[in-house]
Structure 1
Amino acid sequence: MTKTLRSIMIPALNHQTGEQTARYIDTLTKPPGSLGRLEELAIELAKMTGDAFPKVTRPGVIVFAADHGVTAEGVSAFPQEVTGQMVYNFLNGGAAINVFSRQIDAHLQIVDIGVASDIEGEGLISRKVRYGTANFSKEEAISRDEAIQAIEIGYEQGEEMIRKGAKCLILGEMGIGNTTTSSAILAAITGKNVGDLIGRGTGISSEKLLHKQQIIEKALHDRKPDVGDPIDILSKLGGLEIAGMAGAMLAAASHRIPILVDGFICTTAAVLAKMISNAAADYMIVGHKSVEPGHEAAIQWLGKEPLLDLGLRLGEGSGAAVAFPILQSATLMLREMATFESAGISDEA
């Protein structure tokens, strides 16, 4: 691991500030605990930010795009070219994450970190490590240096978004084949059976699903990733956008910025970020539960509880963006609700 990654410093949660916020919540004009998870979120955000009255606006959304060589094995319902086509859709403002980012007034950045074709367009951030990963069923996906480079690019993009004023970070991805990569990563880390982790991704048939399982199982046997080394896992299996998201999460945690984690692919990146620096998970809130089977395993590994369960499986950061107003509600509760004293209401039972 490079000096840059080894030197990442993530501050401890500020429990004193959390206690201050908890006491203040009990003075608001409502029965104790009656706003349930919103109260818990407000306290979590206070601990993360070190601010008794935390802010999460404006949010920042970074979508990392990259291709996966394993698509050559027929594991996806869509061809690899769709990754680049979707990047253009992002740049033209037509994707789900564009819609939801506008809804929550988010800064939005699209980063080409490893698309297999040349992409050009206004607003695109080009930080391409390479033109897609190699086919991990045949060889290692990327080199160790490339894995580190992708994490560091993600870290830099996260810091840039924070400099723009982002108070909450949402990470998204685009990469045909990345449910296969994520399933392989999680199987390696958790030791769970591949069959219990894989899903239909973009909508593959039952026959293709079995094929996907066999490809992953053979790759894990052949590549033998070191389950204690997140860089080795990324090197053996990929992918570049997953590494980028992990790096951006580390940047957010380093700056006490809450991370609103999206679905299966993003949560896999969160698992890797936690492996790189355990304290990173303290700054993560899982936005929703995906229908992808592996997502539940990743959430459990992180020890988190998702905010929503809407049957989503799109990716792009879309589910986290939809969940963002819940965080906003928790902070507005603190900032705008009256206390019993200010409202002249008796708080005696």
Structure 2
Amino acid sequence: MNEALKRLVQSIALPDEEAKRLAAAHLDQLTKPPGSLGKLESLVIRTAGITGQPKPDLARKAVVVMAADHGVCEEGVSAYPAEVTPQMLLNMLAGGAAVNVFSRQAGAEVVCVDMGVNADISHPALLNRKLRKGTANMAKGPAMTREEAEQAILAGAAVAEEACERGIQLFVTGELGIGNTTASAAVASAFTGLEPSLLTGRGTGVDNEGLSRKTGAVQQALSVNQPDREDAIDVLAKVGGLEIAGMAGLILGAAARNCPVVLDGFISGAAALAASRLCPASLDYMLASHVSDEKGHAVLLEVLGLEPMLRLDMRLGEGTGGVLALPLIDSACAVMREMATFASAGVSDGTGVLEA
């Protein structure tokens, strides 16, 4: 691990336990039976610990969509050609993707980052952090060098830092890249030791023959590269993706600035697993939005110890599931700031009527 990455990891502190205690105490003073808001209460207590604010205010939110291509597409692992990545990125920059629609509803901005798209794209709203034009075919050798993986992680962390500097308080991990569920399955299998067949899903909707090719490509990549599960950078370099490494960096960068990170689906889960192996403390900053329909995502959430807020059978990616969870987070935080206490409302808390 290079020195810059070491400094980033060392800068991530544990959550603020006093803020969590104060948040829990305030919840119990609100005009409701204790614990009656269920998982919203544990959500806002976690958020209080992350931010250090007993009454969190997360008005400024950003979905960061990391885009990159994958050389493993040569193995026929996707129902769509690799050319779709730059085409969809342009659609997203124009505001026409599902993540744009959902983000407008949720009051979040969409930040698009070119981490390694195999095309030259110019757009005023695009952050260009391209390290190379897509990864190499991991079924034949390492997806990228160790240095490239480290630089991708640091680039993702820098995106988080820059966004925090302009006021962003919460992040959603998004991604775009044909072939990225294949790389994610390889990353997940490398870290967990589980067979690729248990983690490799249909992604963009491949048929049974395509799924067989995809699973075989993951197995071959693991066999050829022999990634070291105890070395997160080695795993990312050998069988990961530039956008997966970038999302891992985004998580670390957000955690270093005490910002919650809402995870999307399977690919976000693979990045989160990598981030947690680089820095176990970063796990405390992650919130699971949903469990996707992609095979393996539920397994990753279980490994991470995270409970999803939603189950909608989605498998689109882009950060869409993460954005749909934002209203729940907003509602939980609003309760802390706006709901009356027994004392302020003059409502009996069971021990007698309290004065307003």
Q: TM-score, normalised by structure 1?
A: 0.99
State the SS of the aligned residue for 2:325.
helix
Give deviations 1:284-312, integer Å, cap 9, x for gaps: 00000001111111111110100000011
State the SS of the aligned residue for 1:346.
coil
State the SS of the aligned residue for 1:299.
helix
Give the aligned residue type for 1:215.
Answer: A
Residue 114 of structure 1 corresponds to: 116
Unaligned runs of 5+ in 1: none
Residue 246 of structure 1 corresponds to: 248
State the SS of the aligned residue for 1:26.
helix
Distance 1:114 1:321 in 2: 24
CA contact (8 A) 1:91 1:122 kept: no
Alignment map for 1:1-349 (pairs within 5 Å): 1-8=1-8, 9-348=11-350
Distance 2:222 2:115 in 1: 24
Distance 1:234 1:42 in 2: 32
Residue 122 (structure 1) shift: 2.5
Residue 238 (structure 1) shift: 2.2
Residue 107 (structure 1) shift: 2.5
Give deviations 1:79-118, integer Å, cap 9, x for gaps: 0000000010011100011111111221221111100111
Give the aligned residue type for 1:278.
Answer: P
Unaligned runs of 5+ in 2: 352-356
Distance 2:111 2:216 in 1: 36
Give the aligned residue type for 1:341.
Answer: A
Structure 1 residue ranges (4+ consecutive) displaced by more than 3 angstroms after TM superposition: none
Give the aligned residue type for 1:63.
Answer: V
Give deviations 1:157-195, integer Å, cap 9, x for gaps: 011111121111111000100000000110111011111
Distance 1:145 1:42 in 2: 38
Give deviations 1:113-172, integer Å, cap 9, x for gaps: 100111112311111100000000011110111101111110100111111211111110
State the SS of the aligned residue for 1:297.
helix
State the SS of the aligned residue for 1:18.
helix
State the SS of the aligned residue for 1:316.
coil
Give deviations 1:256-313, integer Å, cap 9, x for gaps: 1011111000111011011111100000000000011111111111101000000110
Identity level (%)? 48
State the SS of the aligned residue for 1:156.
helix
What is the number of equivalent residue pairs in this alignment?
349
